[in-house]
Chain A
Amino acid sequence: MSEILRVEGLHAGYGKVPVLRDVSFHVNEGEVVAILGPNGAGKTTLLKTISGLIHPTAGKILFDGQEIGGWPPHRVTKAGIAHVPEGGRLFPNMSVRENLLMGAYGNRESLRTGVLEEVYEMFPVLRERHRQMARTLSGGEKQMLAIGRGLASRPRFLMLDEPSLGLAPKLVDGIYERLQALRGHGLTVLLVEQNIHYALELADRCYVLENGRIVLEGTGEELARSEHIKKHYLGL
């Protein structure tokens, strides 16, 4: 399996406050990798640093062998990375369809090959609501639109930040079913999740981030058996 993303000795933070300290990990093509960890561990900061919203203070981010650390976000997107941020961050005053169109902004070629149809097939409720303003959607619909917008550029690498956040368990099941289907299509996914049960089930491999450092890594099964995870995350 070829490596699509490699992060080496990454340090990043907000202003003078360091959040990530010497983070190293990698993602192989076609894999689903989850970053687990408690609130405030630096998971969101990690994704933001990869997508270019935050500049790394040290270390390397290699995408496809190319150093992308410090690139502005619009360039990172055009390289083939899509970042679905925490809480969806839709364009509230644009319609559902316009949000999806904007998702394809960095790669408009995808529209010509029918990406909107594919997203609508995956999330039929978005087709029903395609003229509605994004701000009028329910929480679950918003998350679906956020994922759909992320897919609209046909990324090679999709980063999802807490897709279960604030959703009822039934809706989370629905979202994870779609993610499971996506994985069947060979998409490479980096998932950040607090809801560890879902993450362990979906991911091929997981990293545990605590206090800005990676403290554990392994397959979902391995981690589910680890004493550390059992004690601190699963409450067993």
Chain B
Amino acid sequence: MDTVVQSLLNGALMGCVYALITLGLSLIFGVMNVVNFAHGDFVMLSMYFAFFIGSMWGVDAVFTPAITFPLLFIVGVVAYYAIIDGTLRQKYVTQIAVTVGLMTFLRAITQLMWKAQPRALPYSLIQGSIHIAGYNIMLSRLISAVVSILAIGGVSLFLSKTWPGRAIRAASDDLDAASLVGVNYRWTYALAFGLGSALTAIAGGLLMTFQQVDPTMGVRFGLLSWCVLALAGLGSIPGLLISGIIVGAAESLSMALWDPRARSLIVYLIFILVLWVRPRGLFGRK
């Protein structure tokens, strides 16, 4: 029983980070209907940037988003204008080919620069753990979860209270109508892609406080975020958080009770089950 609760706790905390990653993905998918296969690789790239900055200047991973957030925003905007914008009116297959290409490209670049072996930062400011009722909570994971929830809340505020945020929501509701009230769709798409990518910078910095990174990690985060998005459905940010926690807990539970290698299997299983039984997700509209 103790292992169950302990792994549920760990998984739930991790799930908050998954939710943050997925929020970026859902911004991109919800607004411009682009299936971004490279999203997980943006997380991987962010982790390498965090590693690079951390090891180069001795900055703690948790602070690296101060630099990587604007950096990934720019990477996202550039990626939008360079490769996504031209494919919006093309066949779906073209879009998939382009984002899969971006995925491969990012992986190759990181492999070239940092080789294939896993990298980790030597230590983090946030170490140790706290004990509550006999359970052990790693401080780094707790802080990651809290920061993720705060970031999700921040994006939520941005979307509901600011003009660019409202423009993103309007464009996702009805693109023509948004254009008719004065929204520049290319600018709004670039903003959504940039912000969606920049959110992985926060996640990447947090993950590097307790994880190592290697160039193949992108696929795992990509799959995870698609699974969380499918489970949540489009349009509900609290739903996204709950779904992230469910997936995180399920993953962690399967590792503790069955086999560490079963984690991806369980995630796939949830993904397939949701698409089969309830394609619009638990909290989705339409």
Contacts and interface: CB of A to CB of B under 8 A. Distances in A.
Contact of A91 (B177, B179, B235): B177
Contacts of B181: 77, 102-106, 149, 153
Nearest to A134: B173
A98 B184 CA distance: 18
A153 B181 CA distance: 8
Contacts of A92: 173-174
B242 interface: no
A10 B174 CA distance: 27
Interface string A149-172: 100010000000000000000000
Contacts of B173: 91-94
Contacts of B163: 105, 108
Interface residues of B, number: 19
Contacts of B170: 91, 94, 102, 105
A131 interface: no
Contacts, number: 71
B183 interface: yes
A102 B166 contact: yes
A221 B131 CA distance: 85
Most chain B beta-carbon contacts within 10 A, residue among A51, A98, A102? A102
Contacts of B107: none
Interface residues of A, number: 28
A72 B170 CA distance: 17
Contacts of A104: 181
Contacts of A105: 163, 166-167, 170, 181-183
Nearest to B172: A93
A89 B182 CA distance: 14
A107 B169 contact: no
B203 to A, nearest CB: 26
Given A105-B183, A153-B181, A98 B235 contact: no
Contacts of A51: 180
Interface string B19-36: 000000000000000000
A69 interface: no
A85 interface: yes
Contact of A74 (B169, B174, B183): B183
Nearest to A53: B176
A89 B176 contact: yes
A137 interface: no
B91 interface: no
Interface string B102-131: 000000000000000000000000000000
A11 interface: no
Contact of A53 (B167, B179, B183, B235): B179
B178 interface: yes
Interface in B148-194: 163, 166-167, 169-170, 173-174, 176-185
A52 B167 CA distance: 18
Given A74-B182, A105-B163, A93 B169 contact: yes
B285 interface: yes
B173 to A, nearest CB: 4
A212 interface: no
Interface in A72-122: 72-74, 77-78, 82-83, 85, 89-94, 98, 101-108
A72 B187 CA distance: 13
Given A93-B235, A94-B166, A72 B184 contact: yes
A51 B170 CA distance: 18
B184 A91 contact: no
A89 B181 CA distance: 11
Interface of B: 163, 166-167, 169-170, 173-174, 176-185, 235, 285
Given A74-B183, A90-B174, 9 more contacts: A52-B179, A85-B177, A91-B178, A93-B285, A94-B170, A102-B166, A104-B181, A105-B170, A149-B181
15 contacts: A72-B179, A74-B183, A74-B185, A77-B181, A82-B180, A91-B177, A92-B173, A93-B169, A93-B173, A94-B166, A94-B169, A101-B166, A104-B181, A105-B183, A153-B182
* 4 closest residue pairs by CB, A with B: A106-B182, A73-B179, A91-B173, A89-B177
